[in-house]
Homo-oligomer: A and B are copies of this chain.
Amino acid sequence: MTTIYDLAKKTGISKSTISRVVSGNGYVSEEKRKIILNAMHELNYIPNQVAKNLRQKQTKTIGFLVSDYFPLVGDFINSFTKIAAKYGYNVNVYFTQNAKNELKTLRLLTTRALDAVFILTRINSWDTISSYADFGPISTWQRVEHAHIYSNYIDHYPVYTDVLNHLDGLGYKRVGHVLSSLRNANTRARVKAIDDFKLKHPDSNQDYQLFYHGQHNAGADAADKWLHAKERPEAMVFFADFVAAEFIASLRKHHVKVPQDCLVVGSDNSEIAKLMNIPTIDLCFRNQAHNAFIYLYNELNDQQLPFEKQTPQWIDAD
């Protein structure tokens, strides 16, 4: 491994001058620059990133934390990593899996191994998590209002209200809802949208509601419940495309026709919704990934890069 010291010895030029040409900071005469460039080539010099990290107290690495895998995670990593790469940042992916391990991962911020952290889904309380914000900026996909944690969330209340009205306009009077955990602010926003809708539309039945903490098997379970329901909802709205997809697949096994027997609506506008031709709600996760990164970048580099606009909308199947 050639080091900057070897170059200095070979060229007789000081380490600092060499550092200047390698990093591109500061003035170096054309003459010396050429000599140094030559020597770099000759000795096949590659700067040691770790030494640089230590000296500069930054690693240009962002932690991507998610409690566990679900299909949208892949799509999200894709969006987040690409925007990060564009600005010269690496991203480390962590499946935290439990509270203790999530804390351990957040500690990487304090060990200086990570410059910043993005949290897709979390386990510990936001209060606990925010205490790590002293060591580096934190942003999240979740809907939170917390000092020191940036959240680029979409308020589901107006979106869901639109969806309910839209379904009502299409003639669906018995609508079922498959929702995420009430721990999420946006699940509560959805429930509130339903409650407010009910007051205005007493002819409509929105009482079929299911809540799930995770995506795993939720669709299959919901299908089972739907099949055994006394009065089957004519339409079902889901908190995630993947769950809707699983629901559809389970119904089809029982020869239920979708959308004829039951209209199924997803959320996310992910690849799978396109694939399975499921009407869905675009909640702009791609823009959210973008903005979540931009926030971290701005904090880290004292910049004011602008955020992208997000306009959630109903996406029809073909």
Contacts and interface: CB of A to CB of B under 8 A. Distances in A.
Interface of A: 1, 46-51, 53-54, 57, 59, 61, 64, 69, 71, 73-75, 77-78, 81-82, 85, 90-95, 107-108, 110-113, 242, 245-246, 249, 252-253, 271-272, 275-277, 318
A151 to B, nearest CB: 23
Nearest to A56: B50
Can you list the 3 inter-chain pairs with the closest CB atoms, starting with the nearest? A74-B74, A49-B111, A69-B78
Contact of A77 (B48, B77, B249, B272): B77
Given A253-B277, A277-B253, A74 B81 contact: no
Given A111-B48, A277-B253, A92 B94 contact: no
25 contacts: A1-B112, A46-B107, A49-B111, A50-B53, A50-B54, A50-B112, A51-B54, A54-B54, A71-B74, A73-B78, A74-B74, A74-B75, A77-B77, A77-B93, A81-B95, A82-B95, A90-B94, A91-B93, A93-B93, A242-B275, A246-B275, A252-B277, A253-B318, A272-B272, A272-B275
A92 B275 contact: no
Given A53-B53, A53-B54, A71-B271, 10 more contacts: A46-B107, A46-B110, A50-B53, A71-B74, A74-B77, A74-B78, A81-B95, A90-B94, A253-B277, A253-B318
B318 A113 contact: no
B277 A47 contact: no
Contacts of A94: 81, 85, 90
B272 A113 contact: no
Nearest to A68: B78
A54 B246 CA distance: 48
A48 B50 CA distance: 12
A47 to B, nearest CB: 6
A73 B82 CA distance: 14
Nearest to A72: B74
Contact of A112 (B48, B59, B90, B246): B48
Contacts of A82: 95
Contact of A92 (B48, B90, B276): B90
Nearest to A60: B113
A92 B114 CA distance: 12
A73 B53 CA distance: 29
